[in-house]
């Protein structure tokens, strides 16, 4: 399985955390509260060489610049 972020708001800086949940039955009838989520990936501060640092979101945003 490959997950791809296709957009990210320029104003949101910080970590990126990906979750996934199994949907049983009809997707449109499922409510988020009924799902059991599992974290599958995360990335945070990539480099703190110069404030405010380079965050995972900076890497996502740079892919669309």
Of residues 63 and 45, more confidently modeled: 45
Q: Rounded to whole angstroms, how far apart are CA atoms 4 and 26?
A: 24
* DSSP type of residue 38: E
* DSSP type of residue 51: T
Model pLDDT for residues 29-61, shown as the tens digit of each residue = 999 899 999 999 999 999 988 888 899 999 888
Can you give the pLDDT at residue 40?
94
Can you give the pLDDT at residue 65?
64
Of residues 1 and 42, more confidently modeled: 42
Q: Rounded to whole angstroms, how far apart are CA atoms 22 and 49?
A: 39
């Amino acid at each position: 399985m490959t997950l791809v972020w296709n957009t990210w708001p320029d104003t949101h800086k910080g970590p990126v955390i990906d979750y996934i949940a199994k949907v049983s039955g009809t997707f449109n009838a499922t409510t988020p509260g009924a799902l059991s989520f599992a974290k599958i990936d995360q990335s945070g501060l990539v480099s703190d060489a110069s404030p405010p640092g380079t965050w995972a979101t900076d890497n996502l945003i740079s892919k669309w610049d």
